[in-house]
Amino acid sequence: MTVTRPASPDRARRLADRVGAARRAGGVTPAAARAARRTFELLAAAEARAHGTTPDRVHFHEVGAVRRLADVVGCAAALDDLGLLAEHAVVTCSPLAAGSGEVHCAHGTMPVPVPAVLHIAAHARLELARGDLPGERTTPTGAALVAAVAAPGPMPPMTVRAVGTGGGRRDTPDRPNITRVVLGETRTASPGPTEGDVVVLESTVDDLDPRLWPSVLDALRAAGAWDCWTTGIVGRHGRPGRLVTALCPQQVRQAVADVLLLHTTTLAGAGGRRAGGRRFPVAASPSPSDQRSGRSGWW
Q: What is the CATH number of the domain that holds 241?
A: 3.30.70.1380
Q: Indicate if 148 and 212 belong to the same structural domain.
A: no
Asked whether residue 275 is domain-assigned, the answer is no
Q: Residue 188 CB: number of other CB atoms within 10 A? A: 13
Q: Indicate if 218 and 146 belong to the same structural domain.
A: no
Q: Indicate if 141 and 237 belong to the same structural domain.
A: no
d(CA 8, CA 124): 36
Q: Indicate if 128 and 219 belong to the same structural domain.
A: no
Q: Indicate if 21 and 81 belong to the same structural domain.
A: yes
Domain that holds residue 249: 199-263
Q: What CA–CA distances, in Å, run from 73 to 1, 69, 116, 172?
A: 9, 6, 20, 28
Phi, psi of 31 (to 5 degrees): -65, -40
Asked whether residue 173 is domain-assigned, the answer is no
Q: Indicate if 246 and 143 belong to the same structural domain.
A: no
Q: Under a CB-based contact definition with an 8 Å cutoff, are residues 143 and 39 in contact?
A: no
Query: Which has the closest alpha carbon to 231: 262, 206, 266?
Result: 206
Q: Indicate if 20 and 79 belong to the same structural domain.
A: yes
Q: Indicate if 101 and 215 belong to the same structural domain.
A: no
96, 128, 154 — which closes off a domain? 154
Asked whether residue 229 is domain-assigned, the answer is yes
Asked whether residue 24 is domain-assigned, the answer is yes
**pLDDT given for residue 161 in this prediction:** 93
What phi-psi label fits residue 141: left (phi over 0), alpha (psi between -120 and 50 degrees) or beta? alpha
Q: Indicate if 205 and 123 belong to the same structural domain.
A: no
Q: Indicate if 36 and 92 belong to the same structural domain.
A: yes
Q: Indicate if 98 and 214 belong to the same structural domain.
A: no
Domain count, the chain: 2
Q: Indicate if 48 and 146 belong to the same structural domain.
A: yes
Q: Residue 13 CB: number of other CB atoms within 10 A? A: 19
How do the pLDDT tens digits run along the chain, 299 residues long?
555 555 555 555 566 665 666 666 667 888 898 888 889 888 888 888 888 888 877 776 555 467 778 888 899 999 999 999 887 788 888 999 888 888 887 778 888 899 999 999 988 888 898 777 788 889 899 999 999 888 888 888 889 999 999 887 888 788 888 889 999 987 654 444 444 567 889 999 988 888 889 888 888 887 778 899 999 999 888 889 999 999 988 777 877 888 888 788 886 544 433 323 344 444 444 444 444 455 666 66
State pTM to two decimals.
Answer: 0.63
